[in-house]
Amino acid sequence: MRDCLFCKIAKGEIPSEKVYEDDKVYAFYDINPEAPTHFLVIPKEHIESANDLNDNNIDIVSHIFKVINKLVVELKIADAGYRIINNCGEDGGQTVKHLHFHVIGGRSLKWPPG
Ligand code: AMP
Ligand code: ZN
């Protein structure tokens, strides 16, 4: 989608620190990390938010979780644990309107979030 920050990052039109890429997803480090390890996983297809998941595109979510499963081992946070977060909409705190999953780890995280 034109003028979408994460579409541009996925296409390499805006630089990012890549963690992983395949034909369906792109993973990159968050520019404002909340913990020692903080990366984002996004579908290459523009999906605005979790509200826009449906029978035609829901398979991307299982693929994203498979990718996360692999990356947390590679980044050595799997055993200690980590958090996967999807912020949806205004009350959910979503600032970038392209579906993304935060993966945050490398320190003990507080719960509940604010
Ligand atoms: P959310 O608030 O869930 O929409 O998360 C958006 C996230 O994208 C925030 O954690 C930002 O720090 C991150 N972010 C925004 N711009 C960039 C960028 N150019 N490169 C990497 N991460 C970004
Ligand atoms: Zn997009």
38-96: pLDDT as tens digits = 999 999 999 999 999 999 999 999 999 999 999 999 999 999 999 999 999 999 999 99
CA angle 61, 53, 7 (to 5 degrees): 75
Q: Say which CATH number the domain at 75 has.
A: 3.30.428.10
Q: What is the pLDDT of residue 1?
A: 82
Task: Give Rg (Cα) of the chain.
Answer: 14
Is 10 part of any domain? Answer: yes
Is 114 part of any domain? Answer: no
Ligand 1 atom closest to Cα of residue 38: 10
Is 110 part of any domain? Answer: no
Is 113 part of any domain? Answer: no
Pocket test for ligand 1, best of 19, 34, 95 (most atoms within 8 A of CB): 95
| Count of residues making up the chain | 114
Q: How many domains does the chain have?
A: 1
Q: What percent of the chain has pLDDT over 90?
A: 96
Query: Does residue 34 line the site of ligand 1, with CB under 6 A?
Result: no
